[in-house]
Structure formats: C-alpha cells, structure tokens
Amino acid sequence: MTVKRLRLKDSYTHVWWLSKTPNPKADNRKVLLPYGKDMKSLLKSKRYNAGKRPSGHVISETGFLSNHGGAISSNVIDLESAQHVPSALLKYANTAWDAKYRAYCEENKLDLHPARMQTDLVAFFLEFLTDKGNLVLDPFGGSNTTGAVAEAMRRKWIAVEADPKYVEGSVGRFEKVERYQRQER
C-alpha cells in the first residue's frame, strides 16, 4: 500500500487497554519522561506565572513547582505549533528488535508472523498498567511478543493464538529470556 502511495506508513499497532473495573490499575509515575530544560529551570527558580489562563483553568501559586520525578508524555499533537507532525506518539524503531525470533524461525523453517509487536511498546504498557506477579492476557498472541516481555518483566501471562504455526515459532522468543530493562524514551 505504501508503494502504491495509498498511505504514509506501512504499519501501525492498535493497543487495547481493557479492564474489568471502571478504575483500572495504572500508575503513570512508572512511565514518566525526564523533565525538559524549561521545567528544570522552573523547578530551580521556584517562580511561575500563576493565575487564570485563556481556557479558564486557574494555575495555583505552587501548581508547577513540585518535582514529581518527571513529565507525563503528551498524548495529543498540537498542529498549530508543530513544525511537523510526528509519525507516532510512542515511537519505536523497527530494526533488529526481533532478530532472535526471526533467526529461530529461519533455522526451524517456520513462518514468521507478519505483524510482530514491538517489545518496547509492550514493555511500556506492562510497566504502566501492571506490577510484578500480575497476570497479562494477550488475546491475539501472534508471535507472542507480549508473553516474552511479560516473562522478562516477571509477570504471569496467557496468550491466545488461533494459528498453531505461529505458536510453534513463538517458542524462539523464550530460548533465553533476559530481564527487560526499560530504556529512556
């Protein structure tokens, strides 16, 4: 489709965040980004222009003067101030991240799953939404990236995959499970 000029990127990932309660377990403190230069300067100076904003929101005298250990990632694109529109809000390179899985499938003459999930994307949501020992369900297991990352992050997991050939290939993700370390984004 990209070659035919019908779309901009040749892949995207839907993430379904389901909860059995109206207040799911989540903690954005686990996935904060480092503060930018301006916020670090504001925290150092201890001065902020408090007051009413054009939106009607009122910023208190101390509203932005507490160090909370980092910033919450943006979840919207400001088209008016952006010089260009980013290709993703959670952006991960699609390079050698699944080389071991691909090598395992090649060595064992197994089909590669055509839509493999990025490990860093899975890790972001597992860090944000779960704690060690929690159970993670992936109802569309595919090559079982979610299971491998959950295992590496010391979570229990269940994966469901309709096609046995992809389950067989997913074994390659578990030959040597290394503990996952969150990388700074």
- Count structural domains, the chain: 2
Segments forming the whole domain that contains residue 142: 102-174
Q: Are residue 55 and residue 110 in the same domain, yes or no?
A: no
Q: Are 145 and 157 in contact (CB under 8 A)?
A: no
Q: Residue 79 has what pLDDT?
A: 47
**In this structure, is residue 75 part of a structural domain?**
no
Neighbouring residues of 125: CB distance < 8 A, sequence distance ≥ 6 = 15, 17
Q: Is residue 168 part of a domain?
A: yes
Pair (49, 107) in one structural domain:
no
Question: What letter does residue 183 receive in the DSSP assignment?
Answer: P
Note whether 15 and 145 are within 8 A (CB): no
CATH of the domain at 117: 3.40.50.150
| Residue-level pLDDT, tens digit, the chain, 185 residues | 556 766 555 556 677 777 888 888 888 888 888 888 888 988 898 888 888 877 777 888 887 788 888 887 765 444 454 444 444 456 666 556 788 888 999 999 999 998 888 888 888 889 989 999 999 999 999 999 999 999 999 999 999 999 999 999 999 988 765 655 544 43
Task: Indicate whether 148 belongs to any domain.
Answer: yes
pLDDT at 11: 56
Please indicate, yes or no, if residue 21 is contained in any of the structural domains: no
DSSP per position, 48-81? ---EE-TTS-EE-TTTT-S--SSBPPP-S--TTT
* 41 found inside a domain: yes
